Structure formats: C-alpha cells, structure tokens
Amino acid sequence: MERVDVAVIGAGIVGLSAAWRLARTGLDVVVLERFSLGHDRGSSHGPTRIFRFAYDDPVYVRLAQAALPLWRELEDASARALLRITGGFDVGDPMYLRACSAALRSCGATAEELTPGARRERFPWFESDDESIFSPNTGVIAANDALAAIAEVARVAGARIDEEVQSARVDVRGADRIEIVAGKREVSARRCVVAAGAWAATVLEPLGIRLPIRVTREQVFYFRAPHEIVPFIHRDRIARYGIPGDWGAPGVKVAEHGTGPQTEPDARSFDVDEPGFARVQGYVQTTLPTFDPSPIASETCLYSTTPDDGFVIDQVGPVVVASACSGHGFKFGPLVGELVASIVTGGEPAVPIKPFALRRFA
C-alpha cells in the first residue's frame, strides 16, 4: 500500500491548487483524478472565466482580494500570463447593485455607479435601460492555461498527479489515517482532501458526511463580436454573463447562470438544450445587437450548488472537504488551495473559513 501525507481526490481547479499549496510545505502529496487533466466532464474546463471583486457579500469580496496576489504568484511561478484585468460591470437588479456597491466599498474596493446613458457612452455594444456599476478589478482568467500551469507548479513542488484513476472509495481508519481504494490502487494517507466537484457528495456519503449539493448541467455559447468587450453580469429574472474572447476562446462567451437541468454527473448529456439556446440567442439579439447571433461554438459543464450558493471548505476528522463551488468558484482556486493547506497543516488561514463550514446546513 502506498503511503503519503495527503491524498487529493479530484484534479480540477480546487484539487490542483490544494496539491500545489500543500506540496510547497514539504508534504508528500498525491492527486487522484478519475479522468484526464482538463477533461470536459466537470466544472473546470473551458478557455475563460471571469475574475471579479464585485459581490454583494463582503466575505466573497475579501476572498477575491486575497485570491488576486496568488494568481500573480502562479503567473510568476509558471512563467505564464493567466489573468488580464479589464474592468467590467454588473447591470440589472437595483437591490443587488446597491448591496454590491456597499460590499465593495466596505472592503476598500471601487464601485462606480453608471446611469444607462453613461454606460452606453462607455460600452455602446450593450443595450439596456438598467442601472449598472463598474468595477475596475474585473478581468478574464485563462482557465485551461491556469489548470495546466497549476499542475506544472504542483509537480515541480513534488506533488504526483495520477490520471485515469478508477472511482475512489475512502475509508477512515483513525484520527490520522485514511485508506483509499481506486481499482487496484491502494493509498494510505494522514489526510484526504475531497475536491471532486459534482462527484464529491458520492465520495463523502459512505463516510457519513452529507454534502447538500444540486448538480446541474449548464451550457455556454460563443459569438462573433465586431469589437472588444469587457466582462459583464446581467442580473435579471435570469442571470446572464459575457466574457471577452481571450485566451484562445473562439468568440465572446455568453451564457445563463444556473438554469440547467438537474443531472447525475455520470449520466449527464453533452447536447445543447434547445430552449436554453433560444433564450440566449434572443438575449444576444436584443442586448448585444452588434453581435452575430449565430454562435460559433458551445460547451457544457456542471454546477455543484449548495442551498445558499456558497462554498464548502471544512474538515471532518482527517477528511478535508473543498468542493461545491456553486458555479462561481474558479477565480478563488489558488486561494482555496491555500486555505486547504492551512487546515491540513494547522496554520492560520488567509481569510476566516467559518462562513464555509458544513454545519451551516445541519
């Protein structure tokens, strides 16, 4: 049986980040990934993600502020550009915008309120009569490149990343010992980090750990635009967002947030949901009228959403749960990895982790 200090289950953005930050401390770390790195079955693939400070909750504003320097550290360590700050805006629900402005300012971040006219002058490609706020700290993450970069620096730090490993069964043998069986693979570890995304609840359930998540299959579309845009989030009855065509994306990403059907991760469809596509295409025609409304490409992904749309970063005995990103977790990946490392090593976390405790769902 292979013996290690920490076994990480899952090599998405959170699992790889945890492996990187743990291996930097000198711990012997192995990552067990059921599929291949960068696979398209989960939540971490695709060319781009939004980076932003703009949240209506100061907890997440501070989380983003703490994540930013770690993204820059990752860029330095991997010699890759991974995050381009462009500025961006939130538009729509006035109550959300007020709460977002208050949260940003309470954390020392900038929030510039824009009337519809002022926004049209600055961003004429976006057509809406809604109020908006502009955040200069918003930007675009090179998501696929970031996964490759984190895997690279984790390996340099000493972590082993094993791909195409069969589904893992975890057994707790004591306060300081966990056994993991994955096919013919047997691993004994002092700690196990479960960062398995949509599969996390299945891994944890036999241990008596309930992770209340709803797994949905979401879809995104890429459109041709005749000009540069900045990231935006349109908070209406259906929340929608757009991301510039950076970092190898085939076009501007436009999608709905959290409207996909509930699914099982091993039974999900990769097909386009036609009613959802029709809604997105109609949105592009009315709100982004200079875009070509015929998409260039589409992708599907999974959301693992908790009842309060928040994260879970917690420890139950020798098991560390770092999952349920609720459709907005990629930007925090390096920081969540650092928080996991602080839990495992007993260090002081960079930000308070109490808001992410499992017991809030008890």
Q: 10-69: per-residue pLDDT in tens?
A: 999 999 999 999 999 999 999 999 999 999 999 999 999 999 999 999 999 999 999 999
- Mean pLDDT for 304-315 is 96
CA distances from 236 to 96, 226, 233, 301 (A): 10, 25, 9, 22
> Which CATH number does the domain housing residue 44 bear?
3.50.50.60
Q: How far is CA 122 from CA 97, 114, 126, 225, in A?
A: 19, 10, 9, 16
pLDDT given for residue 331 in this prediction: 98
Residue 21: name the closest of 332, 294, 352 by CA: 332
- DSSP SS3 for 19: helix
- Residue 252, pLDDT > 80, answer yes
8 Å CB contact between 259 and 212: no
DSSP structural state of residue 40: S
What pLDDT is recorded for position 84? 98
What integer pLDDT is reported at residue 23 of this predicted model? 98
| Strands 88-92, 132-135: pairing kind | antiparallel
What does 69-134 look like in DSSP terms, one character per residue?
A: HHHHHHHHHHT---EEE--EEEEE-HHHHHHHHHHHHHTT---EEE-HHHHHHH-TT----S-EEE
pLDDT (0 to 100) of residue 362: 86
219, 212 Cβ separation under 8 angstroms: no
Instruction: Tell me the pLDDT band of 183, cut-offs 50, 70 and 90.
Output: confident
The answer to whether the beta carbons of residues 198 and 265 sit under 8 Å apart is: yes
**C-alpha triplet 50, 202, 353: angle, nearest 5°:** 50
Render pLDDT for 119-178 as a digit per residue (tens, 0 to 9). Answer: 999 999 999 999 999 999 999 999 999 999 999 999 999 999 999 998 889 999 988 999
Give the Å distances, CA to CA, from 330 to 11, 53, 128. 13, 13, 28
Per-residue model confidence (pLDDT) at position 10: 97
Query: What is the average pLDDT value for the chain, to the nearest integer?
Result: 96
Domain that holds residue 15: 2-361
pLDDT at 167: 86
**Which residues, other chains included, contact 251 with Cβ-Cβ below 8 Å and sequence gap of 6+?**
222, 223, 224, 225, 245, 295, 296, 297
Q: What is the dihedral of CA 360, 105, 52, 17, to 10 degrees?
A: -50
User: What mean pLDDT comes out for the span 105-117?
Assistant: 96
Q: What is the per-residue DSSP string for 259-324?
A: -SPB--TTT---S--HHHHHHHHHHHHHHSTTS-SS-SEEEEEEEEE-TTS--EEEEETTEEEEE-
Phi-psi region of 46 (alpha: psi -120 to 50; beta: other; left: phi over 0): left
327 pLDDT higher than 80: yes
Residue 324 has pLDDT above 80, yes or no: no
For the CA atoms of 293, 294, 297, 299, the dihedral, rounded to the nearest 10 degrees, stands at 60
Please name the amino acid found at residue 41: R
Per-residue confidence (pLDDT) for residue 187, from 0 to 100: 96
Two tokens, residue 47:
């060319």
The total of structural domains in the chain comes to 1
CA-to-CA distance for 47 and 143, rounded, in angstroms?
5
**pLDDT score for 57:** 97
Give me the pLDDT at residue 185, please.
87
Q: Please give the helix or strand (H or E) that residue 201 lies within, else none.
A: helix 200-204
pLDDT, one tens digit per residue, over 264-295 is 999 999 999 999 999 999 999 999 999 999 99
